[in-house]
Chain A
Amino acid sequence: MSEKFRLDKGGLINRNKKISFKFNGKKYSGYEGDTLASALIANGVHLVGRSFKYHRPRGFFGAGVDEPYAIVQMNRNNEVDPNVRATEQELFEGLEAKSVNCWPNVDFDIGAINNFLGKFFPAGFYYKTFMWPKSFWYKVYEPIIRKAAGFGAASIKHDKERYEHKYEYCDLLITGSGPSGLASAYAAAKNGAKVILAEDKSRFGGSLLTSEVTIGNQNGKEWAEKIITELKSMPNVIVKNRSQVFGYYDHNMLVMSERVSDHLPKTEKYTPKQRLWYIRAKEVIISSGSIERPLVFGNNDTPGVMLSSAAKEYLKVYGVLVGKKPLVFTNNDSGYETAIEFKKNGIDPIVLDTRKNPNSEIIKEAKDLNINIKFSYVVVAAKGYKKVKSADIAKISDDKKKLSNIENIGCDCICVSGFWTPTIHLASQSGNKTKFKDEIDAFIPSQSKQKETTLGSANGIFTLEETLKTSFEKGSELSKQITNKENKIAVPAVVEKKSSNHDKFWCVPLPERKNYKRFLDFQNDVSVSDIQLALREGYRSIEHVKRYTTLGMATDQGRTSNLNGLQLVSDIENKVVPQVGHTTFRPPYSPVSIGAIVGREIGKHSKPTRKSPMHYWHEKNNAVFVDAGVWLRPRYYKQGNENLFEASKREAKNVRQNVGVCDVTTLGKIDIKGPDSAEFLNRVYTNAWLKLPVGKARYGVMLREDGIVMDDGTTTRISENHYHMTTTTAQAANVLSHLEYYLQLVWPELNVNVVSSTEQWAGAAIAGPKSRDVLQKLFPKLDVSNNGLPFMGYMEGNLFGVNAKIFRISFSGELAYEVNVESDNGNFMWEKIIEIGKEFNIQPYGTEALSTLRIEMGHVAGSELDGRTIPYDNSLEGLVSKKKDFIGKRSLIKAAYVSPDRQKIVGVVPLDKKTTIPEGSYIVKDAKAKLPNPKLGHVSASCWSVEYDNPFSLAIIKDGKNMIGQKLFALSPLKNKTIPVEIVSSHYVDPKGERVRS
């Protein structure tokens, strides 16, 4: 297909490089430097999508981030990308895109029936309709709404693209490279400030690319090029195109998304698709420009109706005509610039100006070019379904209330200009309380809250001369405060045409007996009548009107619709706009892909993976790993075709019968030193610590101030003023912070130092009746007999030339030792233990067997110390000192904590001795009681007891002390199980604890 709407020359595209692409399966061509939108328009394609609610045909309305309609689904390098604006997507060879919101296709869309049922879809339709019958919600309404909602479909595949995050600091961040951005960046850079200049589009220059002005002795575009080239060459300046600063957060932190590779057929190696920049700026200059406002008239959403600034941009940047019979409908001078541009390219436009007899240089120029201008004229309605074919136009009375001389004239596009809206989103996000400027009928920033300054048309200044002057000044002033340097720059002379005042009129009244839809919000299909209805129904606050009608809520954030909506509400309410106020601007200014937000923190990169020094031995020996916090721990070591259950049973049994070895490197370790260490531990733990002798370990429990158990573990007195504390794997970091809190803030008088030593030690637990034999062979020179190294004893040894710490502590309930060596020697130690243990039938065991062993012994762990239990609940009351004070002690006398039927840990055995009780099951008295069945407590941990060869669980239940021997039920509604059980002691195996002392 030929590009019938492409001019023979002109524009900034590269005419030497033709590009072919596909839209809705059809092949087209364009040029390098096109956007998907400009290339489609060049090919005469104006129908790109269907609207959100009524499925009306939609085309292009803007030429960049202002576009509300032309949202497409991209297919790039076998990845789909929904919600892409065709006006922002740059063309590349082989690009494929398709329309959204239509089925079966954009030309024939079944959903368009909504348009003819329009009167059944009023404002608040969903709220009104889907209320009843209630049972319809899940099965009927929700699936329909879900199918109808959204702008495209997200892929369910894993996104293979790479996204990055970058952190940057600068003196000045400048958002937008139009005249104010360029001038302020240049002045600041010359003063030696570190500057980041961000431009959303691929080309720098903003309005200078399309305006007819002279700066110094150059035209605007040349001047912009010169400045950008110089800025790029300066080492203190970062210049970024395709980069949208979308959020202004606290303490001058701004976030920018850089579309690094979206304009390329595929992402190159070692570069990301997109990059998110977190920028901390000392000063921010907001030079985000302004967006043209639409005029509102009948069927103003028909494809072919677009902003006059967009039509001009398509002409001047892309060499593309949006139509060959253009109608320009304007209430200010900007429309004339577009008309003149058409005329210069051999096209005869008709200008309809709502004003009666305006006068200015540019109007004179248009008249001199013999452009057909009709004053006091308006477009009443666009005609044509999938494309504008003609327009009903009319003369409008001086009071703008009456239409006369309605006639139909042929046209193929209507370029509208309703004056300009400053883009104040960033300023507002920073906390700037905006103010309404009557002369421009729009809000501009007022008092800065953070270090932000808004310049140029974003600040409501529409003359280039003043913009350049203030921008050079501000750039210089702000940077001078930071760098203390000043490099005077002469402000260049500016030649531009002076404008006359705009007309405050923007909404064309309906002619008699006509009920055209006049759209305010093009993306969400909100029309004038919807707002009128909402107000009739009693909505007053603009925030409520917004939510009820969805005005300004779509992905375009109401860039083209907000002010017209406010104006309408004010008119109906007989208020002025500042009384109504505007809705809150929130980040992001423009949609940001989830990939960019997540960055590299996906899959294995989402958190660090910690591995013990013995990890590779585990791997080689068929360990199946499990995530334990950030650690990878062996869950079991697979032999042959064993499953988890079989393997863990074998491993646990071997510990009970022979000896096993378990990697306990992950346990938190804290090194404690200082003369007041004993006193400190005495305050931290619930039991007594002052008399612990050197060379002895002690089990301890620590509480939070509210009496809840925080953590447990053993601490060993290595020497007079040196202790080695262990914590659970999960609580290691919290315990360290907890200790630091008390040492730094509560008892700074204590002379104690704490430091994490988790990474410094590799640990192996050797457990089982034959563990002493293994230990003796590991340390032949030591006396490790029951007298030489008694239960809770500690000694240091030499393990084949390596220093080792030996603790006689047990988690399994068996005779057991823990050997620690420096991490680098961990694997050496492990291999020695395995080698020497062979003759005693040693086997490594994983976390599953570890759990089994501790559960049947009734030792508590994380599932019981779950942040809801006090020492008593866990049968740890023997460890709570009555004599001394400690953290959390005062809370333990609370009424609920000392109530006679307080919950307590018990053992649970199924009556059939076969059915494993799911963890989390409820314990109840009567399985058939009416719901909600009163719950006595819950099952915290379950295992298969290797000692008795039947299932065994721990549970924490109300009045547990008196429940032993009772027959109750374990209910698991999740697994749909009801299991008759007997409550037994939590110490199922070796209740007297004889084995650990043997």
Chain B
Amino acid sequence: MLHIKCPHCGLRSQNEFSYGGDATVKRPELNKEVSDKDWDNFVYLRKSPRGKHLELWQHISGCRQWIKVERDTLTHEIFKTLKANEEV
């Protein structure tokens, strides 16, 4: 079980969090033209990298904040955790 450092609450076990996928995906802006390709990329297409991955988790049984976690998908090492509004 992973040990994730919530930037708001501190180190907590994985079972307090829920996974939210790739954190680098940006939602296309509202009321703007979006090509089919860009929209499909946003909705469906995700990379499955081996190694470093910046991903979203929500501290669902804690402060309910969405956070960013930089994790190695191979070794599960966590390099960094960030608040929702912080960049790597």
Tell me if A251 is interfacial: C-beta within 8 Å of chain B. Answer: yes
A297 to chain B: closest CB distance in Å?
Answer: 44
A731-745: which residues lie under 8 A (CB-CB) from chain B? 737, 740-741, 744-745
Supposing A251-B76, A741-B66 touch, asked if A748 and B85 sit within 8 A by C-beta, the answer is yes
Contact of A745 among B1, B56, B60 (CB under 8 A): B56
A94 to chain B: closest CB distance in Å?
Answer: 40
A737-776 toward B: CB 8 Å interface, digit per residue (1/0)? 1001100111010000000000000000000000000000
Chain A residues whose C-beta falls within 8 Å of the C-beta of B84 in the assembled complex: 744-745, 748
Chain B residues whose C-beta falls within 8 Å of the C-beta of A737 in the assembled complex: 18, 58, 60
Supposing A251-B3, A449-B75, A705-B43 touch, asked if A740 and B64 sit within 8 A by C-beta, the answer is yes
A125 to chain B: closest CB distance in Å?
Answer: 38
Chain A residue at minimal CB-CB distance from B76? A250
Tell me if B20 is interfacial: C-beta within 8 Å of chain A. Answer: yes
Supposing A740-B66, A745-B84 touch, asked if A251 and B2 sit within 8 A by C-beta, the answer is yes
A885-904 toward B: CB 8 Å interface, digit per residue (1/0)? 10000110000000000000
Chain B residue at minimal CB-CB distance from A754? B64
Chain B residues whose C-beta falls within 8 Å of the C-beta of A741 in the assembled complex: 20, 58, 66
Chain A residues whose C-beta falls within 8 Å of the C-beta of B20 in the assembled complex: 741
The reply to whether A885 and B31 contact each other, CB–CB distance below 8 Å, is yes
What is the interface size of chain B, counting residues whose CB is below 8 A from a CB of the partner? 26
Name which of B13, B28, B66 has the most chain A CB atoms within 10 A of its CB: B66
B1-27 toward A: CB 8 Å interface, digit per residue (1/0)? 111000000000100001010000001
Chain B residues whose C-beta falls within 8 Å of the C-beta of A683 in the assembled complex: 30
Query: How many of chain A's residues touch chain B, expressed as a range?
Result: 20 to 34
- How far does the alpha carbon of A744 sit from the alpha carbon of B76 in the complex, in Å? 25
Tell me if A695 is interfacial: C-beta within 8 Å of chain B. Answer: no
A891 to chain B: closest CB distance in Å?
Answer: 6
The reply to whether B43 and A706 contact each other, CB–CB distance below 8 Å, is yes
Chain B residues whose C-beta falls within 8 Å of the C-beta of A278 in the assembled complex: 1
Chain A residues whose C-beta falls within 8 Å of the C-beta of B39 in the assembled complex: 890-891
A522 to chain B: closest CB distance in Å?
Answer: 35
Chain A residues whose C-beta falls within 8 Å of the C-beta of B44 in the assembled complex: 706
Tell me if A431 is interfacial: C-beta within 8 Å of chain B. Answer: yes
- How far does the alpha carbon of A683 sit from the alpha carbon of B27 in the complex, in Å? 13
- How far does the alpha carbon of A748 sit from the alpha carbon of B64 in the complex, in Å? 15
Chain B residues whose C-beta falls within 8 Å of the C-beta of A740 in the assembled complex: 58, 64, 66
B53 to chain A: closest CB distance in Å?
Answer: 15
Chain A residues whose C-beta falls within 8 Å of the C-beta of B60 in the assembled complex: 737
Name which of A250, A741, A891 has the most chain B CB atoms within 10 A of its CB: A250
- How far does the alpha carbon of A947 sit from the alpha carbon of B66 in the complex, in Å? 49
- How far does the alpha carbon of A683 sit from the alpha carbon of B31 in the complex, in Å? 11
The reply to whether B3 and A745 contact each other, CB–CB distance below 8 Å, is no
The reply to whether B66 and A891 contact each other, CB–CB distance below 8 Å, is no
Chain B residues whose C-beta falls within 8 Å of the C-beta of A705 in the assembled complex: 27, 42-43
Chain A residue at minimal CB-CB distance from B66? A744
- How far does the alpha carbon of A744 sit from the alpha carbon of B28 in the complex, in Å? 16
- How far does the alpha carbon of A884 sit from the alpha carbon of B78 in the complex, in Å? 41
Chain A residues whose C-beta falls within 8 Å of the C-beta of B18 in the assembled complex: 737
B81 to chain A: closest CB distance in Å?
Answer: 13
A656-713: which residues lie under 8 A (CB-CB) from chain B? 683, 705-706
- How far does the alpha carbon of A338 sit from the alpha carbon of B10 in the complex, in Å? 54
Supposing A251-B3, A280-B3, A748-B85 touch, asked if A891 and B56 sit within 8 A by C-beta, the answer is no
The reply to whether A746 and B3 contact each other, CB–CB distance below 8 Å, is no
A671 to chain B: closest CB distance in Å?
Answer: 14
Tell me if A121 is interfacial: C-beta within 8 Å of chain B. Answer: no
Name which of A252, A278, A280, A745 has the most chain B CB atoms within 10 A of its CB: A745
B24-46 toward A: CB 8 Å interface, digit per residue (1/0)? 00011011001000010011100
B4 to chain A: closest CB distance in Å?
Answer: 9
Supposing A705-B42, A745-B84, A746-B27 touch, asked if A250 and B2 sit within 8 A by C-beta, the answer is yes
- How far does the alpha carbon of A101 sit from the alpha carbon of B42 in the complex, in Å? 58
Chain A residue at minimal CB-CB distance from B42? A705
- How far does the alpha carbon of A449 sit from the alpha carbon of B77 in the complex, in Å? 10
Supposing A683-B30, A885-B30, A890-B34 touch, asked if A250 and B1 sit within 8 A by C-beta, the answer is yes
Chain B residues whose C-beta falls within 8 Å of the C-beta of A516 in the assembled complex: none
- How far does the alpha carbon of A737 sit from the alpha carbon of B18 in the complex, in Å? 10
Name which of A741, A744, A746 has the most chain B CB atoms within 10 A of its CB: A744
- How far does the alpha carbon of A251 sit from the alpha carbon of B75 in the complex, in Å? 10
- How far does the alpha carbon of A891 sit from the alpha carbon of B78 in the complex, in Å? 35
Chain A residue at minimal CB-CB distance from B56? A745
Chain A residues whose C-beta falls within 8 Å of the C-beta of B2 in the assembled complex: 250-251
- How far does the alpha carbon of A683 sit from the alpha carbon of B29 in the complex, in Å? 12
Chain B residues whose C-beta falls within 8 Å of the C-beta of A253 in the assembled complex: 1, 3, 13
Chain B residues whose C-beta falls within 8 Å of the C-beta of A250 in the assembled complex: 1-3, 76
Tell me if A249 is interfacial: C-beta within 8 Å of chain B. Answer: yes
- How far does the alpha carbon of A741 sit from the alpha carbon of B30 in the complex, in Å? 16
The reply to whether B28 and A890 contact each other, CB–CB distance below 8 Å, is yes
- How far does the alpha carbon of A278 sit from the alpha carbon of B30 in the complex, in Å? 46
Name which of B20, B28, B31, B64 has the most chain A CB atoms within 10 A of its CB: B64
- How far does the alpha carbon of A705 sit from the alpha carbon of B44 in the complex, in Å? 10
- How far does the alpha carbon of A746 sit from the alpha carbon of B39 in the complex, in Å? 16
The reply to whether B66 and A745 contact each other, CB–CB distance below 8 Å, is yes
B55-88 toward A: CB 8 Å interface, digit per residue (1/0)? 0101010001110000000011010000011000
Chain B residues whose C-beta falls within 8 Å of the C-beta of A251 in the assembled complex: 1-3, 76, 78
Contact of B13 among A280, A449, A746, A885 (CB under 8 A): A280
A298 to chain B: closest CB distance in Å?
Answer: 47
Supposing A250-B2, A253-B3, A431-B75 touch, asked if A744 and B34 sit within 8 A by C-beta, the answer is no
- How far does the alpha carbon of A967 sit from the alpha carbon of B10 in the complex, in Å? 63
- How far does the alpha carbon of A449 sit from the alpha carbon of B75 in the complex, in Å? 9
- How far does the alpha carbon of A683 sit from the alpha carbon of B30 in the complex, in Å? 9
Chain A residues whose C-beta falls within 8 Å of the C-beta of B13 in the assembled complex: 253, 280
Chain A residues whose C-beta falls within 8 Å of the C-beta of B27 in the assembled complex: 705, 746
B57 to chain A: closest CB distance in Å?
Answer: 11
Which 8 residue pairs across A and B have the least CB separation, nearest first? A251-B3, A885-B30, A744-B84, A250-B76, A744-B66, A885-B31, A253-B1, A890-B39
Chain B residues in contact with chain A, CB under 8 A?
Answer: 1-3, 13, 18, 20, 27-28, 30-31, 34, 39, 42-44, 56, 58, 60, 64-66, 75-76, 78, 84-85
- Would you mind naming 10 contact pairs between A and B with Cβ atoms under 8 Å apart? A250-B76, A251-B3, A253-B3, A253-B13, A705-B43, A737-B18, A740-B66, A741-B20, A748-B85, A890-B28
**Besides the contacts A251-B3, A890-B28, what 19 more A-B pairs have beta carbons closer than 8 Å?**
A249-B1, A250-B1, A250-B3, A253-B3, A278-B1, A280-B13, A449-B75, A683-B30, A705-B42, A705-B43, A706-B44, A737-B18, A737-B60, A740-B58, A744-B84, A884-B31, A890-B34, A891-B39, A891-B43
Chain A residues in contact with chain B, CB under 8 A?
Answer: 249-253, 278, 280, 431, 449, 683, 705-706, 737, 740-741, 744-746, 748, 884-885, 890-891
